[in-house]
Amino acid sequence: MKYIKLFEQWVSDNAEPIFEGGASGHMMHPFDNKDLTFNDFREMIEAGLSGQLNFEEEPTEKTDGQNLWATMKDGEVMFARNKGDSKNPMSLSQIKDKFDGHPSKLVQDTFQFAADDLAKLLLNLPKDKQESIFDNGKNFINMELIYSKNPNVVNYDRDVIQFHNVQVTDGNGNVLSVESNPAKEIPQILSQLEKNLGNTFEIIPPRAIKLQKDIDFSANKDKFLKKLAALQTRYGLSNTDSVSKYNEMWWKELIDKQFPTLEQNIKNGLLQRWAFNDKKSLNMRSLAKEVGPKDAALIKKFDKEDLKKRYKENVEPFEDIFLELGSVILKNASNFLAANPTEEAKRLRTQIETEGSKIKKTGGVDQIKKVEGELARLGRIGGIESIYPTEGIVFKYKGKIYKLTGTFAAINQLLGIIKYGR
């Protein structure tokens, strides 16, 4: 059982965007936050195309490695990979034991070598900095482990531990705030002390991304704003309406169409369940008593078999806007961590074209369908030529951190299908 779980972790660590794994959880795309308004989206679009995503701090590169948290408690460097760990962080020996015997020796090496380096290097911080930054184990530095021998999607020629930010917690695993300055400050202090180089890794700060105004600014601005306006017009929404209002109207329309004969109170319950993920809004066990066995069966079938597909339909127009926007912005970006971004971009494009063609010729029906779906998505958001050697851009807007990934999500899925058949 131990090794089944380890294998599942290995697949996760090598097939998904790892920055979002581990304790860090999911980093939001703009379209993930349904509290944002259409005005917010308009502001992001214009700022991104202008090369001005520095709303509250400079944008940074979203690198493609493996995620780890570290803290300092009672003079010892300790580690976390999930929320549970952040309540009771692991010692050096415990984090090394966690990955000992991992199905991938390279994943094992990545975490164990990084833990060894961090356990030594962070102790060189002045005591007052240790206390102010980590608050005796409550706060964690969120970092990316980039080991050149263990690439995910993007290949790097450096072995670095890249700090992202400090996660300020309440000591019970709940993040209260995210601070960027310590992630810059710690590598600077260690560099000045000549203590930023471990046996394997170099500790570096967040990678600042240089953005330029899009050469087709006016045309692209009009294009994206028209797409956004079309979504507003569908339900008569204003610029100050939130995306959650669109979400609500979309699901209401779908429910009315799918289940026209249901009583309004049942429709309202389904709306809360499907649009807002309120599972307590409707008792599915006693549903047959309220709507009859036939309608109950149809609702349960939809809930089990169709919900995921419909959710994708709901979010896809917004997803396409921001993934394509990310592709356009990345075209105007520079200072990627990849050693030779031009060559790495060529390698990724060639790999997608070659492997995708192979799957379409020799793969199973489901595999071919998935590949064709992801290639279609890739085409909608910029195509093969919009592939760049990075996971994307990270920026802060109204106190929250967002990502623009461009084609990376499609690439990641395609490579996952090719490698693992998922």
pLDDT of the chain along its 422 residues, tens only?
433 344 334 333 433 333 345 555 578 999 999 999 999 999 999 999 999 999 999 999 999 999 999 999 999 999 999 888 999 999 999 999 999 999 999 999 999 999 999 999 999 999 999 999 999 999 999 999 999 999 988 999 999 999 999 999 999 989 999 999 999 999 999 999 999 999 999 999 999 999 999 999 999 999 999 999 999 999 999 999 999 999 999 999 999 999 999 999 999 999 999 999 998 988 888 999 999 999 999 999 999 999 999 999 999 999 999 999 999 999 999 999 987 888 999 999 998 888 888 888 888 888 888 888 888 888 888 888 888 899 999 999 998 999 999 999 888 888 887 765 55
Please tell me whether residues 266 and 149 are part of one structural domain: no
Please tell me whether residues 100 and 202 are part of one structural domain: yes
Q: Are 143 and 133 in contact (CB under 8 A)?
A: no
Please tell me whether residues 171 and 281 are part of one structural domain: no
For residue 42, what are the β-bridge partners? none
Secondary structure element (H or E) that encloses residue 231, with its range: helix 217-234
**Which of 285, 319, 353 is where one domain is finished?**
319
In a domain, 72, yes or no: yes
Q: Are 344 and 389 in contact (CB under 8 A)?
A: yes
Please tell me whether residues 235 and 178 are part of one structural domain: no
> Can you tell me the distance from the alpha carbon of 410 to that of 353, in angstroms, rounded to the nearest whole number?
13
> Can you tell me the distance from the alpha carbon of 221 to that of 228, in angstroms, rounded to the nearest whole number?
11
Instruction: Identify the pLDDT of residue 413.
Output: 83
Q: What is the pTM of this model?
A: 0.85
Please tell me whether residues 98 and 164 are part of one structural domain: yes
In a domain, 324, yes or no: no
User: Judging by beta carbons within 10 Å of its beta carbon (0-12, 13-18, 19+), is residue 69 exposed, middle or buried?
Assistant: buried
CA 11 to the chain's CA centroid: 17
Please tell me whether residues 85 and 152 are part of one structural domain: yes
In a domain, 137, yes or no: yes
User: Judging by beta carbons within 10 Å of its beta carbon (0-12, 13-18, 19+), is residue 391 exposed, middle or buried?
Assistant: buried
In a domain, 368, yes or no: no
Please tell me whether residues 18 and 154 are part of one structural domain: yes
Please tell me whether residues 193 and 155 are part of one structural domain: yes
Please tell me whether residues 75 and 178 are part of one structural domain: yes
Q: Are 296 and 287 in contact (CB under 8 A)?
A: yes
Please tell me whether residues 191 and 267 are part of one structural domain: no
Range of the domain at 155: 1-25+64-206
Q: Are 143 and 69 in contact (CB under 8 A)?
A: yes
For residue 178, what are the β-bridge partners? 167
**Which of 140, 174, 206 is where one domain is finished?**
206
In a domain, 262, yes or no: yes
**Which of 319, 353, 379 is where one domain is finished?**
319
Please tell me whether residues 193 and 227 are part of one structural domain: no
In a domain, 382, yes or no: no
Instruction: Identify the pLDDT of residue 12.
Output: 39
Q: Which 8-state DSSP code applies to residue 383?
A: -
In a domain, 127, yes or no: yes
In a domain, 418, yes or no: no
Please tell me whether residues 184 and 234 are part of one structural domain: no
Total domains in the fold of the chain: 2
Rg (CA), the chain: 23
For residue 161, what are the β-bridge partners? 145, 203
